[in-house]
Amino acid sequence: MNTMAGSVSPRRRLVTRRATQMVWVLFICLGLLGLGLSHHSASAQSPDVLRVRIEDTISPVKARVVNRSINRAHESRAQLLVIELDTPGGLYSSTREIVEMLLESPVPVAVFVSPRGAQAGSAGTFITAAGHIAAMTPGSNIGAATPVSSSGEEINETLADKVTNDAAALIRSVAEERGRNADALEQTVRSAASYSASEALELNIIDVLADDLDALLLAIDGRAVATVAGEQTLQVAGAEVGEIKMQWRERFVDFISNPNIAFLLLSLGSLGLVFEMLTPGAIGPGVAGVICLGLGFLALGNLPFNWAGVAFIILAVVLAALEIFVSGFGALGIGAAVSLVLGGLLLFGDFGGGKISPPSFPEVSVSRWVLVGVGGGVLVAASYLAYEVILSRVGRRRSGAASARDGSDGRSSPGHLVGQIGTVTSALQPRGIVALAGETWSGVSSDGLEIPAGRRVRVVAVDGLLITVESVSGAAAVEGQE
C-alpha cells in the first residue's frame, strides 16, 4: 500500500503542476487579448461628439463622471462633449468642482437640459450656466437655487445672507464669463426664481432651444466657441455621437450613497461585530460586519454627514453588547434602540455644526420608516433577551423553593450554584459568558486571568447575576492556555 501511495503521489503532483501551468497560460492570454482589444479601441476612429447623462443628485460621484468625460473627450480629440442634465440639485462642493471643470475644459461642452420635463434645479442652474453652450428642451425648467441647510430646512438670516451672497457671486461670475444674463441668473439664488425653457432663452440664460440632440447639433453647427485651449469652430451637424456611461463602480458607489442605505450599512456592520463577539470563531458575522462598515463609511464620504450621528450609532452598539454580556434586564437594550434612532436622526442633519452650504441638497435624511424598523427590531430583541433572563431567574427561584420543601439539594437556585461545573462559551477576559445548568450566565474569572472558550470552569461565588469561576484545570493551565 505504501509503494502504491508513493508511486501515485508524484503523478498527481505532475498533473496538478501541468494544470496550474495551463490555467496560468490561459490567464496570460486573456490579459494580452484584453490589452490588444483596448489598444484597437483606442486607435479606432473616435466619434466627433461624446455625450454623458447626469441625473439625480449632484454628488462627488457625478463630479468624477464629468471629469472622466472631459478627459476622454480631450484624449479622443472630440469636437464637443454634451452633458445631458436632469437634476433637482446637489452638494455645493461637488457643484463648484464641476463648474471649475467646465470653465477650464479644453473641449467645448454643451450642457443640455433634457428630455422634456427635465429640470436644472439648484446645482443644475450653476452647471448649465457654466457650459460653453447652454441648451434646453421645450417643457424643461431651470432655477430655484436659493441656499438652504443640508437637511432641506430654511437657515437663519445671518448665515443665509453669508451663503446666499457667496452663491450669488459665483453664479454671477460664471454668467459674466459665458456672456449670459447675470441679473436673471442671480435671481435664481436670491429669490428662488425659476424659468421655463422659452423664458430662459428669451432672457439670455441659455443659448439654444432644441427638441433633441440631433436638433441641438444642427443648431450649433458652425458656431465659434472660446475655450482655454483657444477658439474652436464646431462642425457637428450629423456627426457621429459616442456615449460615455457611468462605470459599474461609479454606479455602485452612487447607489450606496443613499442616506437610508448608508445608515443600514453602519447599523448592520456594527451588529455583525457584536454577533462575532457573541460567537467567537464564527468569522462570518465579523467579516460581514467589517465589509458593511467599510461600505458605510465609503457612503458617508459622499454625503454631508454629522459625526454626532456616528457617535450615537457606536453608542447603540456598545449598549447592545452590554445588554447581551451583563444581562441588563432590557434597560441597556432600550438605550441601544433609542441611541440608534437618535443616530439616524442626527446622521445627516445640520445642528449648528456650520456645515450649511449653497445650493440646496435635496432632503438628505434617513427615512422615518427605516428608523422605526431598525430601532423597533433592536427594541424587540432587547425585550426578548430581558424576558428570557427574567423568566430563567423566576424559574430558578421556584425550583429552589420546591427543593427546600421536598428536601432536595436545589443546586439550580442561585444560592446553590457554588461548586457547579459549567463551560465557557465566550472567552473570559476576564469577563465573558458561561453555560451553566442549561442557562447562560455572565461570568468573571476569579484570578483575573483569561479563560478561553470551551474550557470547563467551577463556580466559586455568585453575586446577583454575575458568577465568579475558576478553571477546573487550575490556574497554571489557564496561564498556559492549554
Residue pLDDT, tens place only, 415-444: 567 888 888 887 887 778 888 776 777 788
* Residues 265 and 194 placed together within one structural domain of the fold: no
**Same domain membership, residue 55 and residue 161:** yes
Angle value at C-alpha 337, between 332 and 340, nearest 5 degrees: 120
Taking alpha carbons only, the member of 421, 399, 404 closest to residue 470 is 421
pLDDT for the residue 111: 95
pLDDT computed for residue 353 by the predictor = 46
Q: Are 333 and 316 in contact (CB under 8 A)?
A: no
For 29-77, write each residue's pLDDT tens digit: 776 666 555 444 444 456 889 999 999 888 888 999 999 999 999 998 9
Q: What is the pLDDT of residue 216?
A: 92
11 falls within a domain: no
pLDDT cut 70: percent of the chain above it: 72
* CATH number of the CATH domain containing 442: 2.40.50.140
By C-alpha distance, which of 230, 235, 242, 218 is closest to 53?
242
| Spatial contact of 360 and 146, defined as CB atoms under 8 Å apart | yes
Residues 56, 110 within the same domain: yes
* 384: pLDDT strictly greater than 80: no
247, 265, 296 — which closes off a domain? 247
- pLDDT at 337 exceeding the cut of 50: yes
Does the pLDDT at position 139 exceed 60?
yes
Residues 97, 170, single domain; the answer is yes
Q: What is the CATH number of the domain that holds 63?
A: 3.90.226.10
Higher pLDDT, 339 or 354: 339
Structure confidence at residue 411 (pLDDT)? 41
- Mean pLDDT confidence for 201-227: 92
HSE, side-chain direction, 13 A CA sphere, residue 473: 13
pLDDT grade for 325, boundaries at 50, 70 and 90: low
Please name the residue ranges forming H helices in 76-192.
92-104, 123-130, 157-178, 182-190
Say which range, 212-226, 262-276, 289-303, 312-326, has the weakest mean pLDDT.
312-326
Distance CA 263, CA 267 (A): 6
Question: Would residue 39 count as lying in a domain?
Answer: no
Using omega within 30 degrees of 0 as the cis cutoff, is the peptide bond preceding 285 cis?
Answer: no
Q: How far from 412 is each of 112, 390, 405, 441, 443, CA to CA, in Å? A: 77, 15, 15, 12, 16
Q: What is the mean pLDDT of residues 89-103?
A: 88
Q: What is the pLDDT of residue 23?
A: 76
Final residue belonging to a domain, choices 247, 277, 303: 247
Whether 300 shows a pLDDT value over 60: the answer reads: yes
Q: Looking at the predicted structure, is the pLDDT value of residue 269 above 70?
A: yes
If asked whether residues 60 and 107 sit together in one domain, one would say: yes
Q: Is residue 446 part of a domain?
A: yes
Task: Calculate mean pLDDT across residues 135-155.
Answer: 68
Least confident of 54-63, 90-99, 264-273, 401-410: 401-410
Spatial CA neighbour of 137 closest among 258, 219, 79, 229: 219
Question: Domain for residue 33, yes or no?
Answer: no
57 shares its domain with 125: yes
Between 330 and 113, name the one with better pLDDT.
113
**Which contiguous run of DSSP H or E holds residue 288?**
helix 284-300
What number is the average pLDDT over the span 294-318?
81
Name the pTM for this structure.
Answer: 0.64
Banded pLDDT at 220 (limits 50, 70, 90)? very high
Residue 137 vs residues 62, 134, 201, 207, 208: alpha-carbon distances, Å: 22, 11, 11, 12, 9
Is 18 part of a structural domain of the chain?
Answer: no
Which of 411 and 51 is assigned the larger pLDDT? Answer: 51
- Give me the pLDDT at residue 429, please: 74
Read off the C-alpha cell for 54.
Answer: 447626469
Do the domain assignments include residue 201? yes
Residue 31 lies in a domain: no
pLDDT score at 408: 44
Q: So what's the pLDDT on residue 389?
A: 58
User: Which residues, other chains included, contact 32 with Cβ-Cβ below 8 Å and sequence gap of 6+?
Assistant: none
397 found inside a domain: no
pLDDT at res. 93? 80
My answer on whether 299 and 236 are in the same domain is no
Mean per-residue pLDDT, 389-402: 54
**Residue 46 has what DSSP assignment?**
P
Q: Which of 7-21, 100-114, 286-300 has the lowest mean pLDDT?
A: 7-21
pLDDT at 290 over 80: yes
21-25, 57-61, 141-145 — most confident range = 57-61
Contact 250, 54 (CB under 8 A): no
Is residue 306's pLDDT more than 60? yes
Highest mean pLDDT among 78-87, 240-249, 308-317: 78-87
Q: Average pLDDT of 165-176?
A: 89
Which of 183, 218, 247 delimits the end of a domain?
A: 247
Let me know: does 302 contact 60? Beta carbons within 8 Å. yes
pLDDT at 6 > cutoff 60 = no
pLDDT at 142 over 70: yes
419's grid cell: 461548586
Residues 87 and 211 in one domain: yes
Claim to verify: residue 55 and residue 115 sit in the same structural domain: yes
Residues 175 and 314 in one domain: no
CB 348 within 8 A of CB 259: yes
Residue 342 lies in domain = 257-388
Q: Give the number of domains in the chain.
A: 3
Q: What is the largest CA-CA distance in the chain?
A: 107
Tell me, what's the pLDDT at 164?
77
Confidence of residue 473 (pLDDT cuts 50, 70, 90): low
pLDDT the model gives residue 211: 92
On whether both 212 and 261 belong to a single domain, the answer is no
Are residues 438 and 420 part of one domain? yes
Query: Which pLDDT does position 480 carry in this prediction?
Result: 40
Mean pLDDT over each residue of the chain, to the nearest integer = 77
pLDDT band of 399, cuts 50, 70, 90: low
C-alpha 104: how far from its chain's center?
31
Q: Is the pLDDT of residue 115 over 60?
A: yes
Beta strands (DSSP E) in 13-132 are: 49-55, 80-86, 109-113, 119-121
Give the integer Cα–Cα distance in Å for 102 and 82. 11
Name the least confident of 44-58, 96-110, 168-182, 427-441. Answer: 427-441
